[in-house]
């Protein structure tokens, strides 16, 4: 399994395929070619100085007579945890805040309207350890915690919608923890929050030790730049989760994640891309980067030796359009900002072309599913 020494699928294809073959391979693997965005020189310089990757692409829609293009720029941020996991909690939080602040400055230079960070972005992904302290100390109020207040300042300063996925402590309801994305409007006000609906029970993703399945359904947030939803990490394996955000009108669904190569790298390019096609919307898949080492050993319940690291978070964040075309991924190894311009008109154009919302037969599935979840359900199997 490749670690940091392997840059990315995109780099590999570029390096080894003759141009004519590369074009055909990309046509099939990536769909219609995306235009490269001209990003301001000072943004590129700042990214270089700040040691993070900056890439920009644009998806285009057909011109319409009765609607203007609905252009919106989204920013996806992937990053390593900058400090060692045994540094004091407050120091880890303030250091990652500073790192993200610098990246958001560059996003602002690139005209980003909506920015989304990775899952549990202000902490190491410590759920593998099953230890409570100090990791639960990273949990904060979604409404007025330190990280939300930090994001509100960024949102207001840059006129940007900020999606901030955190470990939430709900002080008003028994101090319980959730895996939550806080959505902050470009005015700086907290627009609302949404919670991770599906909790992984796979490998070292021992997240059920920390929080429960989300109880807020599938909210969609009306922002000045479009209707957005957040399908947190493991929810991307659940097609109905994507579907419900889409049924509630999402034009862009963000998928802030934390996942490792040994487990999911072959799924990664498929799932969010497929969701964009199936739901006539844009999807934005974001993964963290690098390897995190923890102070104490833990086992994976697989008979193998105890260890102190989670595995390799492979980055590779990307955006897919409703016509199935996608951007190249960011690096597997470096912090990065992916700026992508979307024309939201493409959602309805693809819906009119493919008509999945019209041909979906939701009433049939609703009826059959309502039966299938009953304890006395008999699967409909036709036997000789």
User: CA nearest 79: which of 127, 107, 39, 117?
Assistant: 117
Residue 119 annotated to the active site: yes
| Least distance from ligand URP to the Cβ atom of residue 337, Å | 21
Contact call for residue 200 and ligand URP (CB under 6 A) = yes
Q: Is 359 helix (H, G, I), strand (E, B) or coil?
A: helix
Contact call for residue 233 and ligand URP (CB under 6 A) = yes
Does residue 301 come out as left (phi exceeding 0), alpha (psi in the -120 to 50 range) or beta? Answer: left
Write out the two tokens for 171: 């002080």
Overall size of the chain counted in residues = 384
Task: Judge contact between 125 and 310, C-beta under 8 A.
Answer: yes
- 307-309 vs 293-298, strand pairing mode: antiparallel
Contact call for residue 263 and ligand URP (CB under 6 A) = yes
User: Residue 290 CB: number of other CB atoms within 10 A?
Assistant: 20
Catalytic residue of the set 233, 281, 284, 347: 233
Contact call for residue 255 and ligand URP (CB under 6 A) = no
Write the burial class of residue 6 (CB in 10 Å: 0-12 exposed, 13-18 middle, 19+ buried). middle
Choices 61-69, 251-259, 301-309, 350-358 (CB under 6 A): range interacting with ligand URP: 251-259
How many CA atoms are closer than 13 Å to the CA of 326, on its beta-carbon side? 27
| Least distance from ligand URP to the Cβ atom of residue 267, Å | 7
DSSP 8-class letter at 37: P
Candidates 117, 138, 205, 221; binder of ligand URP (CB under 6 A) is: 205
| Least distance from ligand URP to the Cβ atom of residue 129, Å | 14
State which residue, 57 or 298, has the beta carbon closest to ligand URP.
298
State which residue, 59 or 127, has the beta carbon closest to ligand URP.
127
Contact call for residue 264 and ligand URP (CB under 6 A) = yes
What residues contact 377, with CB distance under 8 A and at least 6 apart?
Answer: 371
State which residue, 233 or 275, has the beta carbon closest to ligand URP.
233
Residue 68 annotated to the active site: no
Contact call for residue 344 and ligand URP (CB under 6 A) = no
Rounded Cα distance between 179 and 162, Å, is: 17
* HEC letters along 240-267: HHHHHHHHCCCCEEEEECCCEHHHHCCC
Contact call for residue 74 and ligand URP (CB under 6 A) = no
User: CA nearest 152: which of 126, 180, 189?
Assistant: 189
Choices 11-19, 41-49, 82-90, 259-267 (CB under 6 A): range interacting with ligand URP: 259-267
| Least distance from ligand URP to the Cβ atom of residue 145, Å | 20
Determine the distance from the C-alpha atom of residue 10 to the mean position of all C-alpha atoms in its chain, rounded to a whole number.
Answer: 19
Residues 101-140, interacting with ligand URP (CB under 6 A): 119
Residue 233 annotated to the active site: yes
Contact call for residue 316 and ligand URP (CB under 6 A) = no
Contact call for residue 234 and ligand URP (CB under 6 A) = yes
What is the total count of residues that contact ligand URP (CB under 6 A)?
10
Bridge partners (DSSP) listed for residue 168 = 140, 178
What is the full DSSP assignment across 129-156?
A: S---TTGGGG-B-TTTSHHHHHHHHHHH
State which residue, 122 or 264, has the beta carbon closest to ligand URP.
264
Contact call for residue 259 and ligand URP (CB under 6 A) = yes
Catalytic residue of the set 119, 168, 251, 292: 119
DSSP 8-class letter at 21: H
| Least distance from ligand URP to the Cβ atom of residue 208, Å | 11
State which residue, 264 or 325, has the beta carbon closest to ligand URP.
264
Contact call for residue 241 and ligand URP (CB under 6 A) = no
State which residue, 26 or 332, has the beta carbon closest to ligand URP.
332
Active site residues: 119, 196, 233
User: Where do contacts with ligand URP occur on this chain (CB under 6 A)?
Assistant: 119, 200, 205, 233-234, 257-259, 263-264
């Amino acid at each position: 399994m490749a670690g940091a020494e392997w840059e990315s699928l995109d780099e590999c294809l570029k390096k080894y395929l003759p141009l004519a073959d590369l074009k055909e391979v990309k046509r099939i693997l990536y769909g219609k070619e995306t235009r490269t965005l001209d990003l301001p020189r000072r943004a590129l310089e700042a990214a270089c100085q700040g040691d993070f990757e900056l890439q920009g692409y644009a998806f285009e829609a057909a011109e319409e007579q009765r609607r203007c293009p609905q252009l919106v720029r989204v920013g996806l941020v992937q990053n390593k945890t900058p400090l060692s996991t045994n540094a004091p909690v407050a120091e880890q939080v303030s250091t990652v805040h500073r790192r993200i602040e610098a990246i958001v400055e560059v996003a602002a230079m690139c005209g980003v309207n909506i920015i989304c960070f990775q899952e549990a972005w202000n902490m190491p992904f410590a759920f593998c350890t099953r230890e409570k302290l100090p990791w639960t100390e990273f949990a904060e109020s979604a409404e007025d915690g330190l990280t939300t207040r930090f994001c509100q300042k960024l949102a207001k300063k840059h006129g940007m919608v900020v999606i901030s996925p955190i470990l939430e402590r709900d002080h008003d309801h028994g101090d319980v923890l959730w895996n939550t994305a806080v959505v902050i409007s470009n005015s700086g006000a907290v627009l609302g929050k949404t919670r991770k609906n599906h909790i992984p029970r796979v490998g070292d993703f021992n997240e059920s030790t920390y929080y429960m399945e989300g109880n807020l359904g599938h909210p969609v947030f009306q922002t000045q730049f479009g209707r957005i939803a957040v399908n947190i990490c493991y929810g991307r394996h659940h097609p109905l989760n994507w579907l419900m955000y889409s049924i509630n009108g999402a034009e862009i669904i963000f998928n802030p994640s934390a996942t490792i190569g040994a487990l999911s790298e072959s799924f990664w390019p498929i799932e969010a891309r497929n969701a964009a096609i199936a739901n006539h919307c844009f999807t934005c898949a974001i993964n963290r980067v690098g390897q995190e080492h923890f102070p104490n050993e833990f086992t994976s319940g697989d008979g193998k030796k105890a260890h102190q690291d989670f595995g390799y978070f492979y980055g590779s964040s990307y955006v897919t359009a409703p016509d199935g075309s996608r951007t190249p991924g960011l690096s597997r190894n470096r912090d990065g900002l992916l700026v992508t311009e979307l024309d939201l008109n493409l959602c309805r154009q693809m819906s009119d072309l493919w008509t999945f919302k019209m041909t979906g037969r939701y009433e049939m599935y609703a009826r059959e599913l309502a039966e299938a979840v009953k304890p006395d359900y008999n699967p409909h199997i036709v036997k000789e």
